[in-house]
A and B are shown apart, each in its own frame.
Chain A
Amino acid sequence: MDTLLTAEIAVNAPRYRRRSSTFIDGIHDVPSEQGNMAPAQLYSTMSGRLFHSGRIAIVMVGLPARGKTHICVSMARYLSWLGVKTRIFHLGDYRRATVGEGGHVPQDYFYPNASPASVMLRQKILKKCREDIYAWLNHENGQVAIYDAVNPTASGRRALAREFAKHDVQTLFIESYVDDQDILKENARNVKISSPDFHGMDPDEAAQRYLKRIETKIPVFETMQEEELNYVKMINAGQAFFYNNVSFNYLSHRIVFYLTNLHIKFRTTFFVRAGTATEEDYKADAPLSEEGWAYARTMAESLIRHREQERQSLIEQGGPDLPLRPLSIWTSTRLRTIQTAEPLREMGYKVRQRSQMSQINPGVCEKLSERAIRNLYPEEVEKHELDPYHHRYPRAESYHDLAVRLEPIILELEREQNDLLIIAHESVLRVLYSYLMHCSTRDIPKLRFPRDEIIEIIPAAYQNEAKRVHIPGLDPKMIPGSPEDIRIPVPDTIASLSPIPGMSSPTDSAAPEIAITRPPEKIVNTAKEMVSDKVADED
C-alpha cells in the first residue's frame, strides 16, 4: 500500500519526525492553525490546550482483537471534536515502518525471555514512538497522546507511568479486557476476513486459529491490577467497567463518560434529508408537501433495497449468512422529519424523536431576503463571512451552538447498537457528519446533502468510511439545497439554484459549475488493505 511505503520512506529519513499515523489515520488530517476551533470546543487558549487539565498520556492495554484501535480512534475523534488536541501513536505503525514492508518481527519478539537481538529491536521501535509522543506533548502543544500498544506486563506499565511522570505527563491506562468468546470471535472475524492466510477457510475456524496464534506469540499477558496506577478496565466491550482512580482529572472523567457509551460492535449510520414541506417557514413547522411524501416513500424503498443488496454482496464474498441488523430511526421533533419517517414506521421500524436534532435557528434572518439582511445587518454579514462556523446572527444559532447542543446526541450515537437512520435538516446532518468523518470547522457549513443521496457511514478500525447511495427517480427540482435552507447563516454555495442568487462568497458564485459538483467527499475505502496488514499486527 502506498501510504505504508510513504510512511517507511518518511520514518527512515534522517531529519523526519513521524507524526504518528498522519498517513492513514483520518483523525489527524485536520489543519491545526491558530483560531481554528474544533466543532464543540467551549473555549480556546493561546497554547491550544484546555487550561484546567494537564497533559495526559492514554496508554492502551490489551491483546490483539480486543478492539483497542477502534477505542483509540473513537476516543481521539471525540476529544478532537471537543477541542482537545489529541493524537494517536499506534506502535504497530512504527514496527511496520522499522521492519519494512513484508518484514516480520522475530518469533520471540514478545517473549519475556527474548533474545538480545529481539530486545534491541523492540527498544528501538519503542524509543522512536516515545520520542514522537514527547515531541507532540512538549513542542506541538498536544494535550492528549494516545499510545496504542499491547503493554502486556505490569512491570512494563509501571515503568511507563514513571517515565511519563518524569515528563510531567499524567498517565491513564485503558484496558480492553474480553473473555466473552463470541465477542473475541466476532472481532477476529472482522479483522481477518480478507487475509490470504485464512483464505477459503471456515470463518469460525479462521478466527479460532488467529486467536490461538496470538496466544503463542504473546504468552504473557497480565490484566491490570496495579493499585497505584490510574486505570479504566473495559470488560467485554463495555458490559462492565472497573475504574481505579488515583487522581482522575476533568479530562479523564470526560473520557470515562465517553467510554461508558462506546461499544465495539459493528453497525452503520445512514443520513437522509427530510422531504419538502408545504411551507418553508421556520416557525410554521409545516407538514410535507405532496412531493415530500413521494420522496419519503422513494427514500424508504431505496434504503431497504440498499441494505438487502449489501447483505447479499457480503454473502457472495464468502461472509456469513446473517440476518440484517435491526434498524432504528431518529428524527427531530419537526413535523417534516417525523413525516419523512412515516413510510418506514408503517413498515414496522421504530422511530424516535429527538428534540436536540431540530434545525439551526435562523433567528432574525427568517423570511428576510438577502438584500434585506445586508441592509439591516451589514456588520453581521461581514462577521459571518469571516467565520461562518462560529458567527451567530441576532437571535440565531451558530453552527458552534448547534454542535454543543448536539453533544448528547453524539454520545447516544455511540451508544446505539442497531443500524441507525437519521432524518434531519441539512444543518444537523452537517454537524453529525463532521463528528463521524472528522471534518474541519471551516468545511462544516459547506457540506452538502442533496436529497437524492443516502449517506452511509461505515465504521472501520482506522477511519470511518462514507458512502453515497443514490436515490433514483426524484424530481430534480427537490434534490439540491431546497428553499427550506436558511439562506443567511448557511450561505448557499449553489448560486444558480438559489432563489436569492449571489448570497455565497464571490469565488463560489463566480464558479457555479464547480460549486454544483459536491465538495470533496471524504470517501475512504482503504479499510480492507489496512486490515490485511493488521493480521501480523501484535502490538
Chain B
Amino acid sequence: MGRFNGVGIQAEETHICVVMVGLPARGKSYIAQKAQRYLKWLSIPAATFNVGNYRRNNAPHPSADFFDTNNAEGERKRRAAAEAAVTDMMKWFKSGGVVGILDATNSTKERRKWVLERIRGEGVEVIFVESKCDDEELIMANIRDVKTTSPDYVGQDPEQAALDFRNRIRNYEKVYKSINADGDEDDLTYLKIMNVGKQVIINRIQDYLQSRIVYYLMNLHIRPRSVWLSRHGESMLNLEGRIGGDADLSHRGEEYAMKLPQLVLDSVGSDRPLTVWTSTLKRTIATARHLPKHYNQLQWKALDELDAGVCDGMTYQEIADLYPEDFQARDADKYNYRYRGGESYRDVVIRLEPIIMELERSEDILIISHQAVIRCIYAYFMQKTQEESPWVPVPLHTLMKLTPRAYGTEVQTYKANIKAVSTWRGKGSTAKHEDPLPEGGV
C-alpha cells in the first residue's frame, strides 16, 4: 500500500534524487536549501546531502589547487566524498525519505553519468537541476555573501578568501559542461535555470512530484529581499479574549496602525516601496491603512485567519466548557486538529501554498495577517516542525523582518511598545491567554 503524507501530494513509493549542477557561487546551496524547506513544510520528507561537507572531513581548508582536475589526490578525495554522500542518501531513502538533494557541482558529463548510474541502480529517479549564470556582478555578490562565510575559509582574511575562491571557480570552469550543451544528454530529466530564471529549460519530467518541484524552483529568485510580517493591531474581540470574528481595531490597535508606517520605515531604512498583503478581514485592512500611498496593497482571502468553525467568536473558556473533548483533542495534536466546521493548521498550510509560491516570486513584501496564518508562514521560513509551529508566540504590535540567506533565514523584530492583550496560550494550560515564557520568544 502506498504511503501518504496527507497534504495533497501522494509520494507513494517514489524516491527522487535532485542532483544539483553548476559552478560554485551560482546559488546551488540556496536552491537546495529552499527546495528542502518547501517540501518539508508540505510534509514531504526531504534532506540535503552536501558533498562539500563530506569532503571537509578529509580536507578541511583546501586551497584552490585542490580543485584542479589535474590534481589526482584532490580528484580522488572529491570523488570519495560524492560516494559517501550518495551512500548516506540511499540509507536515508530506506528509512522513509522521499526527496533527497545532492548538493555538489556535478559539472562534468562524466560525473553526471556516474551519479545517474549509481542512483538509478538503486531504483531512485534522478532529476538534474542546473543553475547557470554568467552575470559577473551577481556571481561576485554571491561570492562575497556566501563564500567568505563558508566553513572552508573560517578565520581567513576575507579578501584572500574571495580571491582563492575565484581561483577555485576557474578550475571548475575549465571542465564545466552545461547539461545537454553537446546535445547528447537529451535523455536526462533536467531543469536548467539560466540567469536567475530569465530562461528555463525543462526536459522529460516523469511524474507529478517532479513537476511540482520544478514549478517551485521556477518561482525562486536569488535577488536579495526581505519579508515583513505583522499581525493586525489589537481588535475589540482580542480585548474580550475571543477568537476569530471580524471585529474593528481597539483603541490601542488604532495606535499601532498609526505607528506602523514609522516602524516599517525604520526597518526598511529607505523609502523604497513595499507591497502590502492583507487578509480580507477588517482588522488587517485597518492596520494597513496608514501606510504610505506609494505602497501597493492587495487583499488575499487565503490570508484570512484560521476558521474556528462553530467556535468562532468564543473565548477559550467557552470552548473548554462547551466542547471539552475538542479542547483536549486540539492540545494533543494542534497541527491536525480541525475545528468543528472550521480548519486545522494543516488546512491553513494547504491554502497558503499559493501565497508561499507568490512570496518566492516577489521581492519586498509586508504581510499583515493573523496569528495562525503568520505562524504557518513563519514556520515555512524558519523550518519549524509541525509540533512546534502551532505554538510559536507571535505577539501583537510587533513587526518581524525575515531575510533569507544562503544558510538560513535571519529574523529581526521591532516592537511598537504599545500595550496589547496576550493571545497566546500554552499547551495543556488552562483555558486562558497568558504571557509566553521568555525563552519561547520569537
Contact check: which of A52, A240, A245 meets B300 at CB < 8 Å?
A52
Q: How far is the CB of B419 from chain A (nearest CB, A)?
A: 34
Is the beta-carbon distance between B341 and A393 smaller than 8 angstroms? yes
Q: Is A261 an interface residue (CB 8 A)?
A: yes
Is the beta-carbon distance between B211 and A411 smaller than 8 angstroms? yes
Q: How far is the CB of A539 from chain B (nearest CB, A)?
A: 28
Closest to B354 in A: A42
Q: Is B88 an interface residue (CB 8 A)?
A: no
State which of A137-145, A181-189, A349-357 sits at the interface with chain B.
Answer: A349-357
Contact residues, A379-414 vs B (CB, 8 A)? 392-396, 404-405, 407-408, 411-412
Contact check: which of B6, B199, B214, B354 meets A245 at CB < 8 Å?
B199
- Pick from A52, A256, A356, A404 the residue with the most CB of B within 10 Å: A52
Is the beta-carbon distance between B199 and A364 smaller than 8 angstroms? no
Is the beta-carbon distance between B200 and A352 smaller than 8 angstroms? no
Q: Chain B 196-220 against A: per-residue CB contact (8 Å), 1 yes, 0 no?
A: 0111111111011001101100110
Contact check: which of B203, B280, B338 meets A239 at CB < 8 Å?
B203
Is the beta-carbon distance between B338 and A395 smaller than 8 angstroms? yes
Would A260 and B202 be within 8 Å (CB), given that A43-B302, A356-B8, A407-B8 are in contact? Answer: yes
Q: Is A243 an interface residue (CB 8 A)?
A: yes
Would A364 and B351 be within 8 Å (CB), given that A43-B301, A241-B202, A394-B309 are in contact? Answer: no
Is the beta-carbon distance between B10 and A356 smaller than 8 angstroms? yes
User: Looking at chain B, what size class is its interface with the partner chain?
Assistant: 35 or more
Q: How far is the CB of A304 from chain B (nearest CB, A)?
A: 25
Would A355 and B4 be within 8 Å (CB), given that A256-B215, A364-B340 are in contact? Answer: yes
A261 to B302 CA separation, bound complex (whole angstroms)? 25
Is the beta-carbon distance between A240 and B341 smaller than 8 angstroms? no
Q: How far is the CB of A411 from chain B (nearest CB, A)?
A: 6
- Pick from A260, A261, A392 the residue with the most CB of B within 10 Å: A260
User: Interface SS of chain A: helix, strand, loop or mixed?
Assistant: mixed
Would A52 and B358 be within 8 Å (CB), given that A354-B10, A408-B208 are in contact? Answer: yes
Q: Chain A 349-374 against B: per-residue CB contact (8 Å), 1 yes, 0 no?
A: 00011111000000110000000000
Is the beta-carbon distance between A253 and B202 smaller than 8 angstroms? no
A239 to B203 CA separation, bound complex (whole angstroms)? 6
Is the beta-carbon distance between A395 and B215 smaller than 8 angstroms? no
Is the beta-carbon distance between B211 and A415 smaller than 8 angstroms? yes
A364 to B310 CA separation, bound complex (whole angstroms)? 12
A355 to B200 CA separation, bound complex (whole angstroms)? 32
Would A415 and B207 be within 8 Å (CB), given that A240-B202, A245-B198 are in contact? Answer: yes
Q: Is B240 an interface residue (CB 8 A)?
A: no
Contact check: which of B4, B9, B198, B211 meets A260 at CB < 8 Å?
B211
Contact check: which of B4, B207, B300 meets A43 at CB < 8 Å?
B300
Contact check: which of B200, B219, B300, B354 meets A242 at CB < 8 Å?
B200
Is the beta-carbon distance between B340 and A253 smaller than 8 angstroms? no
Is the beta-carbon distance between B208 and A261 smaller than 8 angstroms? yes
Q: Is A221 an interface residue (CB 8 A)?
A: no
Q: How far is the CB of B224 from chain A (nearest CB, A)?
A: 19
Is the beta-carbon distance between B211 and A243 smaller than 8 angstroms? no
Q: Is B140 an interface residue (CB 8 A)?
A: no
Q: Which residues of A contact B310 (CB under 8 A)?
A: 394
Q: Chain B 301-314 against A: per-residue CB contact (8 Å), 1 yes, 0 no?
A: 11000000110000
Q: Which residues of B contact A412 (CB under 8 A)?
A: 208
Q: Which residues of B contact A260 (CB under 8 A)?
A: 202, 205, 211, 214-215
Is the beta-carbon distance between A253 and B341 smaller than 8 angstroms? no
Is the beta-carbon distance between B211 and A257 smaller than 8 angstroms? yes
Q: Which residues of B contact A363 (CB under 8 A)?
A: 340-341
Is the beta-carbon distance between A408 and B199 smaller than 8 angstroms? no
Q: How far is the CB of A374 from chain B (nearest CB, A)?
A: 17
A102 to B328 CA separation, bound complex (whole angstroms)? 74
Closest to B12 in A: A352
Q: Which residues of B contact A253 (CB under 8 A)?
A: 215, 218-219, 357, 361
Q: Which residues of B contact A394 (CB under 8 A)?
A: 309-310, 340-341
Is the beta-carbon distance between B8 and A42 smaller than 8 angstroms? no
Contact check: which of A261, A355, A393 meets B6 at CB < 8 Å?
A355
Q: Is B181 an interface residue (CB 8 A)?
A: no
Q: Chain B 1-23 against A: per-residue CB contact (8 Å), 1 yes, 0 no?
A: 11010101110100000000000
Q: Which residues of A contact B205 (CB under 8 A)?
A: 260
A429 to B224 CA separation, bound complex (whole angstroms)? 46
A149 to B160 CA separation, bound complex (whole angstroms)? 58
Would A395 and B208 be within 8 Å (CB), given that A241-B201, A243-B218, A245-B199 are in contact? Answer: no
Contact check: which of B211, B299, B301 meets A42 at CB < 8 Å?
B301
A43 to B299 CA separation, bound complex (whole angstroms)? 10
Is the beta-carbon distance between A257 and B198 smaller than 8 angstroms? no
User: Interface SS of chain B: helix, strand, loop or mixed?
Assistant: mixed
Q: Which residues of B contact A256 (CB under 8 A)?
A: 215, 218
Q: How far is the CB of A335 from chain B (nearest CB, A)?
A: 11
Would A243 and B199 be within 8 Å (CB), given that A355-B4, A392-B341 are in contact? Answer: yes
Q: How far is the CB of A46 from chain B (nearest CB, A)?
A: 11
Closest to A354 in B: B10
Q: Is B175 an interface residue (CB 8 A)?
A: no
Closest to B197 in A: A245
Is the beta-carbon distance between B200 and A243 smaller than 8 angstroms? yes
Q: Is A298 an interface residue (CB 8 A)?
A: no
Q: How far is the CB of B9 from chain A (nearest CB, A)?
A: 6
A433 to B29 CA separation, bound complex (whole angstroms)? 43
Is the beta-carbon distance between A405 and B8 smaller than 8 angstroms? yes
Q: Which residues of A contact B265 (CB under 8 A)?
A: none
Is the beta-carbon distance between A240 and B203 smaller than 8 angstroms? yes
Q: Which residues of B contact A407 (CB under 8 A)?
A: 8
Q: Is B239 an interface residue (CB 8 A)?
A: no
Would A261 and B298 be within 8 Å (CB), given that A42-B354, A353-B2 are in contact? Answer: no
A528 to B33 CA separation, bound complex (whole angstroms)? 51
Q: How far is the CB of A484 from chain B (nearest CB, A)?
A: 22
Would A408 and B9 be within 8 Å (CB), given that A243-B218, A415-B211 are in contact? Answer: yes
Q: Which residues of A contact B351 (CB under 8 A)?
A: 42, 404
Would A239 and B204 be within 8 Å (CB), given that A353-B2, A363-B341, A395-B340 are in contact? Answer: yes
A286 to B2 CA separation, bound complex (whole angstroms)? 19
Closest to B341 in A: A394
Q: Which residues of B contact A245 (CB under 8 A)?
A: 197-200
- Pick from B202, B204, B211, B338 the residue with the most CB of A within 10 Å: B202
Contact residues, B352-398 vs A (CB, 8 A)? 354, 357-358, 361
Is the beta-carbon distance between A242 and B2 smaller than 8 angstroms? no
Q: How far is the CB of A224 from chain B (nearest CB, A)?
A: 12
Is the beta-carbon distance between A355 and B10 smaller than 8 angstroms? yes
Q: Is A333 an interface residue (CB 8 A)?
A: yes
Q: Chain A 245-263 against B: per-residue CB contact (8 Å), 1 yes, 0 no?
A: 1101010010011001100
Q: Which residues of A contact B350 (CB under 8 A)?
A: 404
Contact residues, A222-246 vs B (CB, 8 A)? 239-246
Q: Which residues of B contact A411 (CB under 8 A)?
A: 208, 211
> Which A residues are within 8 Å of any B CB, using their own CB?
42-43, 51-52, 239-246, 248, 250, 253, 256-257, 260-261, 333, 352-356, 363-364, 392-396, 404-405, 407-408, 411-412, 415
Besides A355-B6, A404-B350, A408-B8, 19 other CB < 8 A contacts? Answer: A241-B203, A242-B200, A243-B199, A245-B199, A246-B198, A250-B357, A253-B219, A253-B361, A352-B2, A353-B2, A356-B10, A363-B340, A393-B341, A394-B340, A395-B309, A407-B8, A408-B208, A411-B211, A415-B208
> Which B residues are within 8 Å of any A CB, using their own CB?
1-2, 4, 6, 8-10, 12, 197-205, 207-208, 211-212, 214-215, 218-219, 280, 298-302, 309-310, 338, 340-341, 350-351, 354, 357-358, 361
A–B complex contacts, Cβ < 8 Å, 28 sampled? A42-B302, A42-B354, A43-B300, A43-B301, A52-B300, A239-B204, A240-B201, A242-B199, A242-B200, A243-B201, A245-B197, A246-B198, A248-B361, A253-B361, A257-B215, A260-B215, A261-B211, A333-B1, A353-B2, A355-B6, A363-B341, A394-B310, A394-B340, A395-B309, A395-B340, A408-B10, A411-B211, A415-B211
Instruction: Give the 6 A-B CB pairs with smallest separation, nearest first.
Output: A43-B301, A394-B341, A243-B200, A355-B4, A241-B202, A257-B215
